[in-house]
Chain A
Amino acid sequence: MRLPSWLSQHLAALRAVLVFTVLLGLAYPLALVAVGRIPGLDAHADGSLIEAGGRPVGSSLIGQSFTDSDGNPVPRYFQSRPSAAGDGYDPTSTAASNLGPESMVDTITSDEETSAQSLLTQVCARSKAVGELDGVDGRRPYCTPDGVGAVLAVFRADGLTGRITRVVSVNQVAPATPFVSTWQGVPVELARPDQDYVAEGGLITPVRGDAPAEPAVPADAVTASGSGLDPHISPAYAEIQVARVARERGADPAAIRELVEEHTTGRSLGFMGEPGVNVLEVNLALDERFPAR
């Protein structure tokens, strides 16, 4: 019996899918899993696990949080970057924040659940917190002194034009103090929860302020990575943490600095990528060389 051509074509297709599934879906990956068992390669293939005191404490490629159970930074450790993966550095729920470059109006509601910080406020809050922890200037452009985005909703008589009728600092609520008291002669109000000042017609105006153009807290300290698992911090971010870690461990800052350098990966071949300090590795080395008092 001769099958109709459309049927024989689909049967050929099905056989092809099965053949390629066995070849490319089983033989190829499993052979390479087997290759990954070769001594020397197996540590890599299994995720570059690091042990301390005989038990695995993490992977040298995956960052982790160095915070206590309440989420506060543990000062004797170098701190990692902010992370959007789960509750922070969760490899089972990797994620970036995906907030855009003009995300600067917080959603402030009376119900905490539905409130959401804009990316700008997150950046400002992190900068302030890092500044306080490490004793450096935490100010940034477009940030208020109390660590939220310095953003005004400016209402004008005729929408886009006309005299200013009302100005609201959209990310600040009572009991805060508005980051500027007046805007072009009009007193600045605090925001109230559950108000949408954009929908009401306010023109969103970020205010640069007088913070230095190159803030003391480095960029990687105030931004979440793409993976949420970034194992590195920039050498600049490590540098502002050295004094604190040295103090906490009663060690000489120069010795700590040396340790940081040992765990800094430079650019491959001198031009690929950027240098980074592996935070888990440097913290493990600290525990070994300078156990906390």
Chain B
Amino acid sequence: MSMTTAGMLFVLSLVVALVAVYRPFGDHMYRVVSGTRSARVERGIYRLVGVNPAVEQTWGVYARSVLAFSAVSILFLYAFQRLQNHLWLSLGFDPVVPHGAWNTAVSFVTNTNWQWYSGESTMGHLVQMAGLAVQNFVSAAVGIAVAVALVRGFARSRTGELGNFWVDLTRIVLRILLPIAVLGTLALMLGGAVQNLSGGTDVTTLTGGSQTITGGPVASQEVIKELGTNGGGFYNVNSAHPFENPTTWTNWIEIFLILLIPFSLPRVFGRMVGQNRQGYAIAAVMAILALASITLTNVFELTGHGTVPQAVGAALEGKEVRFDVSNSATFAAATTLTSTGAVNSFHDSYTALGGMMTLGNMMLGEVAPGGVGAGLYGLLILAVITVFVAGLMVGRTPEYLGKKIGSREIKFASMYFLITPALVLAGTAAAFATGNNSTALNVGPHGLSEVLYAFTSASNNNGSAFAGITVNTQWWNTALGLCMLLGRFLPIIFALALAGSLARQQPTPASEGTLPTHKPLFVGMVVGVTVILVALTFLPALALGPLAEGL
């Protein structure tokens, strides 16, 4: 069987698996976020945290709870890294430098997991498992909670209440993320992923050299890194490392885990608004964009244009033999279509157009299917923009799921959409204006791509990189930290504000003039709006980078 055929079967098997779990897993998540009965351990947590689970919150209180939890998390993680040399299992590493600790604290709390550092030579085991990996869970839960709150805005009427953040957070962590993480860890350990507290084993190689076989609680962190679409590797080389992703089938599992929650959340949306077909429409938009992108990335990488790939005979630089070109390209597309940013191959060495796909996936706003929660709320915002555009075309007041999209709503949606492009383009311009682009490894258009990729990744909370660029400087760590922070929490505030505004409305009964939002026409329109908005925003920047290099 040729690599292309095997690669197509690989993608097909993922599609089949995701379709198979869409209903049962989506229904499970629906019961988790809409249930009211608390288990004993949950009641215990509410008591320890000091919240009353029966009290619901307005959008403002919900947003302030998210922000308070995230602010405390950032401070906690910052202190953890700065003090790691005093703690257990530090492996003798120094405290993390201040600008680096700031960047990493923000990075993990915002679900970005951008990494300026090499895990194996910077972070002790305790910081990894009790600092960074905890945020892998809770930052993912925050994303899902915000998405659920936005959906409640559509589902409820004449109320200010959007649920209780602390309850959502706890239930999502305990009933969705943790059980899958435990099962996933066992599977990866069977494949050979490491799970111990060893500081490393020194060995003498066959030819008399020395090598340190590293250890660490890797498998448990690896699973939640993919499941929570976080992406921060235990080691510098992330999921290319044989201890994180040892076999061809663990590679399949990791891609499946990346896509599992984001692709099943539309089911939760459909159930909550009482029309499953609305969920199918959103899932269809995600699937069309994702399949197109995965296919194109595979085509560009397998074709292998470019001087070096032509000289080599394949685009194999930065890729492992066990994954080879196709399974690497599929992972790369999945990780950038979501907000994961884990990599099993190095995007910087991709063909110009293959690399552009990874960049473009993030520029789409990570909505196909996007990060856990973030993908759903991002796509719902785009759906709101789409009904607005459609309403303008036919001259009717736009409405979505019976809620009028008035000037207040469209302002929130537009603000949401504009934040990341503003951060990406302003950040890239600032890097060039201040000369900080000179830390790029490659020269010419590819050097510009490295800078553009860094800001796109940080502002969209992805975390992958064109990793040749050196970002361990005060300027880069500060600038990218700000982009991650603003790129995460401003959109969350606007999404929750929109939710609050929708929840207060009295639903409008559907009439003849209402645009049906579950039909193929609407699906096509949302796909069109998404692609056109991105193309209008980013084409000039792409023309100077990957397009100039690849054409």
Q: Do A and B make up one complex?
A: yes
| A interface residues with partner B (beta carbon < 8 Å) | 6, 8-17, 19-21, 24-26, 28-30, 32-33, 35-36, 41, 44-49, 52, 55-59, 61-62, 64-69, 74, 77, 81, 85, 89-105, 119-120, 123-124, 140-143, 149, 198, 206, 208, 213-215, 218-220, 222-234, 265, 267-274, 276, 280, 283-284, 287
Cβ of B349 and Cβ of A96 under 8 Å apart?
Answer: yes
Tell me which of B205, B214, B444 contacts A65 (CB under 8 A). Answer: B205
Distance between Cα atoms of A21 and B135 in the complex (Å): 9
Chain B residues contacting A218 (CB-CB under 8 Å) are 313
Chain A residues contacting B178 (CB-CB under 8 Å) are 24, 28
Q: Is B527 an interface residue (CB 8 A)?
A: no
Chain B residues contacting A91 (CB-CB under 8 Å) are 120, 200, 211-214
Q: Is B506 an interface residue (CB 8 A)?
A: no
Q: List 29 A-B contacts (CB under 8 A).
A: A11-B50, A13-B73, A20-B134, A24-B173, A25-B131, A44-B191, A52-B206, A55-B204, A59-B242, A61-B243, A74-B207, A89-B211, A90-B212, A91-B214, A102-B306, A102-B352, A119-B317, A142-B311, A149-B311, A220-B316, A222-B312, A223-B316, A223-B317, A225-B319, A227-B242, A272-B249, A273-B247, A273-B327, A276-B321
Cβ of A45 and Cβ of B196 under 8 Å apart?
Answer: yes
Chain A residues contacting B13 (CB-CB under 8 Å) are 271
Cβ of A101 and Cβ of B49 under 8 Å apart?
Answer: no
- Produce 1/0 per residue, B338-380, CB < 8 A to A: 0000011110111110010000000000000000000000000
Cβ of B129 and Cβ of A29 under 8 Å apart?
Answer: yes
Cβ of A45 and Cβ of B195 under 8 Å apart?
Answer: yes
Cβ of B318 and Cβ of A226 under 8 Å apart?
Answer: yes
Distance between Cα atoms of A291 and B220 in the complex (Å): 41
Chain A residues contacting B130 (CB-CB under 8 Å) are 21, 25-26, 29
- Produce 1/0 per residue, B201-238, CB < 8 A to A: 10111111101111101011100000000000001110
Cβ of A35 and Cβ of B311 under 8 Å apart?
Answer: no
Cβ of B214 and Cβ of A273 under 8 Å apart?
Answer: no
Cβ of A101 and Cβ of B196 under 8 Å apart?
Answer: no
Chain B residues contacting A94 (CB-CB under 8 Å) are 118, 120, 235-237, 241
Given A35-B186, A58-B206, A96-B318: A226 and B346 within 8 A (CB)? yes
Distance between Cα atoms of A29 and B132 in the complex (Å): 12
- Produce 1/0 per residue, B60-73, CB < 8 A to A: 00001100110111
Tell me which of B189, B221, B316 contacts A36 (CB under 8 A). Answer: B189
Chain A residues contacting B237 (CB-CB under 8 Å) are 85, 94-96, 226-229
Tell me which of B220, B318, B348, B351 contacts A28 (CB under 8 A). Answer: B220
Tell me the smallest distance from the CB of A91 to a CB of chain B, in Å: 5
Cβ of B248 and Cβ of A24 under 8 Å apart?
Answer: no
Q: For A55, A66, A214, A220, which residue has the most chain B Cβ atoms within 10 angstroms?
A: A220
Cβ of B118 and Cβ of A10 under 8 Å apart?
Answer: no
List the 5 shortest-distance A-B pairs measured between CB atoms, nearest first: A273-B248, A25-B130, A98-B468, A101-B306, A226-B240
Cβ of A101 and Cβ of B549 under 8 Å apart?
Answer: yes
Known: A90-B211, A95-B237. 7 other contacts (CB 8 A): A16-B45, A98-B441, A101-B349, A142-B311, A143-B311, A227-B242, A276-B322
Chain B: which residue is nearest A286 at the CB level?
B206
Given A81-B321, A267-B248: A100 and B49 within 8 A (CB)? no
Chain A: which residue is nearest B125 at the CB level?
A29
Chain B residues contacting A206 (CB-CB under 8 Å) are 307
Distance between Cα atoms of A41 and B328 in the complex (Å): 28
Tell me which of A16, A223, A231 contacts B69 (CB under 8 A). Answer: A16
Cβ of B203 and Cβ of A57 under 8 Å apart?
Answer: yes
Cβ of A232 and Cβ of B322 under 8 Å apart?
Answer: yes
- Produce 1/0 per residue, B296-319, CB < 8 A to A: 000000000111111111111111
Tell me which of B64, B189, B198, B349 contacts A97 (CB under 8 A). Answer: B349
Cβ of A58 and Cβ of B203 under 8 Å apart?
Answer: yes
Distance between Cα atoms of A269 and B251 in the complex (Å): 13
Tell me the smallest distance from the CB of B322 to a CB of chain A, in Å: 5
Chain A: which residue is nearest B327 at the CB level?
A273
Cβ of B211 and Cβ of A102 under 8 Å apart?
Answer: no
Distance between Cα atoms of A222 and B349 in the complex (Å): 14
Cβ of A24 and Cβ of B308 under 8 Å apart?
Answer: no
Tell me the smallest distance from the CB of B388 to a CB of chain A, in Å: 34
Given A57-B204, A97-B317, A142-B310: A229 and B242 within 8 A (CB)? yes
Distance between Cα atoms of A265 and B321 in the complex (Å): 11
Cβ of B211 and Cβ of A64 under 8 Å apart?
Answer: yes
Distance between Cα atoms of A230 and B72 in the complex (Å): 40
CB within 8 Å of A: which of B147-199? 166, 169, 173, 178, 181-182, 185-186, 189-198
Chain B residues contacting A274 (CB-CB under 8 Å) are 3, 6, 248, 321-324, 327
Distance between Cα atoms of A44 and B64 in the complex (Å): 44
Cβ of B194 and Cβ of A47 under 8 Å apart?
Answer: yes
Q: For B73, B173, B352, which residue has the most chain A Cβ atoms within 10 angstroms?
A: B73
Cβ of A232 and Cβ of B203 under 8 Å apart?
Answer: no
B contact residues, total (Cβ < 8 Å): 122
Chain B residues contacting A230 (CB-CB under 8 Å) are 242, 320-322
Distance between Cα atoms of A24 and B181 in the complex (Å): 10
Q: Is B529 an interface residue (CB 8 A)?
A: no
Cβ of B194 and Cβ of A45 under 8 Å apart?
Answer: yes
Q: Is B413 an interface residue (CB 8 A)?
A: no
Distance between Cα atoms of A213 and B304 in the complex (Å): 13
Given A91-B120, A102-B549: A29 and B205 within 8 A (CB)? no
Q: Is B432 an interface residue (CB 8 A)?
A: no
Q: Is B10 an interface residue (CB 8 A)?
A: yes
Distance between Cα atoms of A58 and B219 in the complex (Å): 20
Distance between Cα atoms of A87 and B205 in the complex (Å): 14
Cβ of A98 and Cβ of B348 under 8 Å apart?
Answer: yes
Chain A residues contacting B194 (CB-CB under 8 Å) are 44-47
Cβ of B206 and Cβ of A100 under 8 Å apart?
Answer: no
CB within 8 Å of A: which of B67-122? 68-69, 71-73, 76, 118, 120-121
Distance between Cα atoms of A48 and B194 in the complex (Å): 8
Chain A: which residue is nearest B119 at the CB level?
A94
Q: Is B427 an interface residue (CB 8 A)?
A: no
Chain A: which residue is nearest B217 at the CB level?
A29
Q: For B196, B200, B313, which residue has the most chain A Cβ atoms within 10 angstroms?
A: B313
Distance between Cα atoms of A1 and B171 in the complex (Å): 31
Tell me the smallest distance from the CB of B71 to a CB of chain A, in Å: 7
Distance between Cα atoms of A123 and B324 in the complex (Å): 17
Q: Is B133 an interface residue (CB 8 A)?
A: yes
Cβ of B251 and Cβ of A273 under 8 Å apart?
Answer: yes
Q: Is B124 an interface residue (CB 8 A)?
A: no
Cβ of B444 and Cβ of A102 under 8 Å apart?
Answer: yes
Distance between Cα atoms of A26 and B181 in the complex (Å): 14
Distance between Cα atoms of A270 and B5 in the complex (Å): 11
Chain B residues contacting A105 (CB-CB under 8 Å) are 443
Cβ of B206 and Cβ of A32 under 8 Å apart?
Answer: no
Given A20-B138, A28-B182: A62 and B213 within 8 A (CB)? yes
Chain B residues contacting A268 (CB-CB under 8 Å) are 247-249, 252
Cβ of B207 and Cβ of A17 under 8 Å apart?
Answer: no
CB within 8 Å of A: which of B467-491? 467-468
Distance between Cα atoms of A120 and B312 in the complex (Å): 9
Cβ of A98 and Cβ of B467 under 8 Å apart?
Answer: yes
Given A32-B217, A92-B200: A100 and B446 within 8 A (CB)? yes
Tell me which of B49, B201, B207, B352 contacts A19 (CB under 8 A). Answer: B49
Tell me which of B185, B307, B343, B468 contacts A226 (CB under 8 A). Answer: B343
